[in-house]
Amino acid sequence: MDALDVARWQFGVTTVYHFLFVPLTIGLSVLVAILQTMWLRTGNERYLKLTKFYGKLFLINFAMGIVTGIVQEFQFGMNWSDYSRFVGDIFGAPLAIEALLAFFLESTFLGLWIFGWDRLPKRVHLACIWAAAIGSTVSAYFILAANSWMQNPVGYRINPESGRAELTDFVAVLTNKVALITFPHTIFGCFLVAGSLIVAVAVWHLVRRPDNPDADTYRFAARFGATVTLLATAGVLATGDIQSKIMTEVQPMKMAAAEGLYETESPASFSVLTVGSLDGSRELFALKIPYLLSWLSTGDVNGEVHGINDLQAQYTAQYGPGSYTPIIPVTYWSFRLMIGFGLAAAAIAVWTLWAHRRGRTPTSKWLLRAALVMPVLPLAANCFGWIFTEMGRQPWIVFGEMLTRDGVSRSVSLAEVLTSFTAFTLVYATLAVVEVRLLVRYARHGLPDTDPPEPDPTDHDDEDKPLAFAY
């Protein structure tokens, strides 16, 4: 083990940990805004209760996401300084806009939303949560644009004197076809997570206490969350289909690795399950669906899909001697776990809608168990999606331009990387316990009382009143 190995593990651990918060934050921000809009348009108090209830969970998650996101920038500087030097001119623009515009937008208006209850006009207050939600979503786009440049570099030139990548066309970076399809795919994944959380909390309250005075509101929340989950699943599948074809076009090795396809085939089958050697080089048993891989890769059921051996020979001729094959078992199984966990969440959403048909209240303990697991499934799907995206690009850190081993900091020792890795892992483990306990505590507390407090005739100083929406 050397500094490169530990730096890669550290980046993987901290990035996946941070991404546990991102989908829920983006998805819940929009869904809370929708619930508040429904309250403003109808005046129905149940929408107000749900807005405040799920708004608390959103705020807890938002705060934790910020704390863990800051570490990413620290890593670029400490562990990946050669990479930062190479891509700094490209990454600087989208990440600066993300920080100055999107993050400013979401943070500022989220603060106004938190403290603006009963102080701002209702429409202005509603605009604040929508501005925060738009800021979160726009923030995701600029980060995905930067990442997509690593998958498919465009709009740049290599300076022969400095050896750095320099930006020549910022519009090309923002309209990178990988970014344009990755963005909606990721956003639908966010709604999948948020919808699942809403279902889990609502079903938990309903099954444990069917005579709950807020049962009608929880029934609506369960149906609302399940519907969002199913719509998001459809969106994920549709955008994922387009994304797989673009991936095959710009990174054919990643698609070949996702299938463990060593020889070029036409037509090519998709394997649902494969049992093979530990390194993925030999197949012992496989359950396959004919023509499906050709369709996913090319849009033609008889389309040709290049195998790992042919692509390895092509890259060797193009880039020189070396291995250009990702770790096959990791890419193969992360691709299937991403799909499998997402579909499992959708199946529970269908079950939830069936259990609530014609105004029924679910009582099944099995539905309760499934609902409690439900938010974990799309979170795992999102994480495995990112693991597949990043591991499938290896050994490149910038595809076709820079190998991962060339991006690590040369001046950082193994002991230093191990120290920071251990420290961050311990801090993150502590934060995970805090996050889960806070979410469970507020989720168990149930819907808030939205009736206005009785006025105190002796109180004439508005500044001494408790905040309407403070935690």
127: number of Cβ within 10 Å:
16
Residue indicated by tokens 């920080």 = 99
H-run or E-run covering 49: helix 45-78
Copy the structure tokens of residue 253: 């090795």
CA triple 161-166-168, angle to 5 deg: 125
* C-alpha dist (Å) from residue 168 to 14, 54, 158: 31, 44, 10
Euclidean distance between CA atoms 258 and 69, whole angstroms: 28
Residue indicated by tokens 């105190």 = 456
Residue 470, pLDDT > 50, answer no
Q: What is the pLDDT of residue 74?
A: 75
Average pLDDT value for residue range 169-176: 92
Copy the structure tokens of residue 346: 């959708």
Tens of pLDDT, residue by residue over 12-67, are: 888 888 888 888 889 999 999 999 999 999 989 999 999 999 998 888 888 777 77
Mean pLDDT check: name the lowest of 42-56, 252-266, 438-452.
438-452
CA triple 399-137-79, angle to 5 deg: 40
Residue 373, pLDDT > 80, answer yes
Closest CA to 182 of 220, 143, 127, 209: 143
CA triple 109-112-115, angle to 5 deg: 150
Tens of pLDDT, residue by residue over 200-250, are: 999 999 988 888 888 899 999 999 999 999 999 999 999 999 999 999 999
Q: What is the pLDDT of residue 459?
A: 53
Mean pLDDT check: name the lowest of 48-62, 100-114, 439-453.
439-453
* C-alpha dist (Å) from residue 153 to 11, 100, 148, 165, 280: 21, 24, 8, 10, 29
Map residue 287 onto helix, strand or coil.
strand
Amino acid at 14: T
What are the backbone angles phi and psi of residue 242, rounded to the nearest 5°?
-65, -40
Residue 456, pLDDT > 60, answer no
Residue 471, pLDDT > 50, answer no
Tens of pLDDT, residue by residue over 332-369, are: 999 999 999 999 999 999 999 999 888 788 888 899 89
Q: Identify whether 267 is preceded by a cis peptide bond (ω within 30 of 0).
A: yes
Q: What is the pLDDT of residue 460?
A: 53
Residue 4, pLDDT > 70, answer yes
Residue 468, pLDDT > 50, answer no
Q: What is the pLDDT of residue 452?
A: 59
Euclidean distance between CA atoms 268 and 466, whole angstroms: 65
What are the backbone angles phi and psi of residue 358, rounded to the nearest 5°?
55, 40
H-run or E-run covering 272: strand 270-276
pTM of the shown model? 0.88
Copy the structure tokens of residue 191: 């709604």
**Centroid of chain to Cα 366:** 28
Euclidean distance between CA atoms 338 and 315, whole angstroms: 28
Residue indicated by tokens 């609302």 = 224
Euclidean distance between CA atoms 161 and 157, whole angstroms: 12
pLDDT above 90 coverage of the chain, percent: 43
User: Is 202 in contact with 218 (CB distance < 8 Å)?
Assistant: yes
Pairing of strands 283-289, 396-398: unpaired
Euclidean distance between CA atoms 399 and 320, whole angstroms: 14
**Centroid of chain to Cα 384:** 10
Tens of pLDDT, residue by residue over 120-157, are: 999 999 999 999 999 889 888 998 999 999 999 999 99
Euclidean distance between CA atoms 373 and 395, whole angstroms: 35
Q: What is the pLDDT of residue 469?
A: 47
User: Is 173 in contact with 155 (CB distance < 8 Å)?
Assistant: yes
DSSP 462: G
Q: What is the pLDDT of residue 19?
A: 83
Please name the residue ranges forming H helices in 118-266: 122-151, 170-174, 177-208, 215-250, 252-259
User: Is 84 in contact with 76 (CB distance < 8 Å)?
Assistant: yes
The string of DSSP codes covering 389-436 is HHHTTTTEEETTTEEGGGTS-SS--HHHHHHHHHHHHHHHHHHHHHHH
Side-chain half-sphere of 344: how many Cα atoms within 13 Å? 18
Closest CA to 386 of 143, 132, 25, 98: 143
Length of the chain measured in residues? 471
User: Is 113 in contact with 125 (CB distance < 8 Å)?
Assistant: yes
323: number of Cβ within 10 Å:
10
Closest CA to 3 of 69, 82, 91: 82
Mean pLDDT across the chain, nearest whole number? 87
